[in-house]
Structure 1
């Protein structure tokens, strides 16, 4: 979350724009600093955090349990990444992979002939046993392979870790996402590794300029068919979370793929205080985020745009705050 409310450093000028769905008003105009960052191609990557000061989900607790050896390897990953002029996202991928594969330790054992921090297999051409158990070699080798992964800069860090490691358990790399993001800030001394702004506790900035762009994209998909598991590389069809992902990606903010993951990719606020561009969520048990099964974008004026279910195209509909299964928190992506 950005510190605009705390210090008044950044001013967000709110303008209203009438869109084609009646009396839906959007917040489009952003502050000057956001425009400058966008011109420099600095995107907010909500999949990396965001960097919250609160203990819940910040990764600080997990990071506090790391040993001296583990933190030393984190520092080495970051140092080598800097030397190679790779962005913090690359460090994030390597930290998550190393934590998942070995607990960020250079192991002399593993499954079959897997060895070292990233459990590289000499028999698969990763290097000799001596090389893959050398942290300097292993980290550089990991980065070598990562840089050959198509679109690694545009996807969730755990997905890129899987592309390098090719594990039989692809989802496990996501577990350390928040811890890795925290370490980038704490060990790497990167004040804002996500590009989304530094956390300021419970304070919430005004709706972002990106929200207006995301909203316009989502509205432009009306009438297109629902497809569960729709590809995020085309706009022929959507499911609920792919619509949100592509809408915010068009505005320079990267979201995770699923609705449950997207619930963690921004600042929470009471759902009754949702503003245009904020995400609303539905869960089988609204007190348990693990049961989230649907996401939509709030348009203002008591309306949402969503890809709801098979047989129902992307559409706009009214929403009620007392609607069944609606989560009590809305999410403002990227802040």
Structure 2
């Protein structure tokens, strides 16, 4: 559910590529053959060489950046911007030197109003100052990561932050309660901050079991659903209550996932407007989604094409879920 009544994905494709819809007679058939192993793993960038390669100091500093952002209510995308910035400016090291009077993780300058030298050398202080200025940038959430970072830093190398985005996403994705884990070179990845893979498989299964039920604006089941209500309901059946309700809220807190790297259980955002996406779907497997589309169309499974539909992908972090004692 978006903040406004969305026309739905079918209408959004008028005049564009017609994507075929696949109606599923039984939920189990849609799950047959799906590889759900490791769906709860953080995104892997193989160029990293099987591990993030962060030192103890770097992990500690990244942990501070992520935890300060979470405490300030900064969306996940903002945390990615902050980590990427610190990677470029200091290599995630709290250094006492830099260009002119630049100091610390973000190379902030006392002479430019960032605080005293002692304050800037405090990672929690410097992180909060970075976030405060980022949040003051109009439209930062719609900017590429490197542009958002540059709007705060005003660097002589404005495009330098871009190369750190992938690794920064991995750091934020693997953060759990403010702690940063590394990619495991043996298994491919460590569990990211989202419930275990069997829960993801179960959540997708519960969503698929709703196929054929009507779209109802504001509906969270069991008899009818809107687009985000289907997601809330499916997670609730697995014993998790989401802290977010609308498609815009889900987009704001989700960990970005590049197109082509989405996995079963990830979210698909579409119909973007000034206030964010008006529609959200669930990835069944890459290329196939389950959705509650719009009034007049029942819950269904359909194929999707990310490029032609302008879709974006995200993964809900565990800090947006509360374990409940019973399914309700």
* TM-score normalised per structure 1: 0.48
* TM-score normalised per structure 2: 0.49
